[in-house]
Amino acid sequence: MPEGDDFFQTIEALFNTLADRNINYLLVGGVALLSYVESRNTQDINLILARSDLDALPEVVIEDEDKDFIQGLFDPLQIDIFLTQNKLFKEVLEQFSIGRQFGDRIIRCATVEGLVLLKCYALPSLYRQGQFSRASIYENDILLLLLNYSVDIDNLIKILSAHLLPSDLTEVGAIAEEIQGRIRRFSSQQRSLTDE
């Protein structure tokens, strides 16, 4: 796994390769999140792209693959690929993307709404798998985005209704309400401290 400057040089090489080969991608995950808020450290890069685009990326060594995801390596960089055969991932790629400045270049990155959608979509699966530490990180990522940006969470829940089981959707709605409650509490505490 690359460290420090090597990490960013490897990411730069990846984006050069994607641009040179005209691959339709979308940056999601921790690196995308860092373009919006100060957050956790990340040691990998997450992209949404079509499975067929991997034919143009022989540098990506596939380590694990299932219906919706591929884990691989680009040089020493861990790369997680969200495949567009998943309808939500394709929807995020097509409807929730924006150009964001990374160094000297503009990268196609998920919007705040796209990141929140993906994080919410992942939560039920993480809970079922008992990955509570990761679920907690995702919930905190959602909190940070909602603290810093105006997001129509009800609209995102509506979008998720086409992609989640009803029971999962109910749980995601409850988590979103809990996060919004924390934000209201933060705002209330801030007001009371500034009024003193």
Cα 47 to Cα 151, 180, 183, 194: the distances in Å are 22, 28, 29, 42
Which of 14, 40, 52 is CA-nearest to residue 139? Answer: 40
The predicted model gives 14-31 an average pLDDT of: 94
> What is the SS3 assignment for 68?
coil
Domain with CATH 3.30.460.40 in the chain: 4-110
State both tokens at 87: 């309808």
pLDDT higher than threshold 60 for residue 2: no
Radius of gyration of the chain (CA): 18
Q: What mean pLDDT value characterizes the chain?
A: 92
- What integer pLDDT is reported at residue 69 of this predicted model? 97
User: CA 11 to CA 77: how far, in whole Å?
Assistant: 8
pLDDT higher than threshold 70 for residue 101: yes
Q: 34-86: per-residue pLDDT in tens?
A: 889 987 677 789 999 999 999 999 999 999 999 999 999 998 899 999 999 99
Q: Under a CB-based contact definition with an 8 Å cutoff, are residues 49 and 23 in contact? A: yes
- What integer pLDDT is reported at residue 104 of this predicted model? 84
For domain 4-110, give the fold: Beta Polymerase; domain 2 (3.30.460)
Q: 168-188: per-residue pLDDT in tens?
A: 999 999 999 999 999 999 887
pLDDT-derived band at 1, boundaries 50, 70, 90: very low
User: CA 125 to CA 118: how far, in whole Å?
Assistant: 12
The predicted model gives 88-109 an average pLDDT of: 94
pTM: 0.90
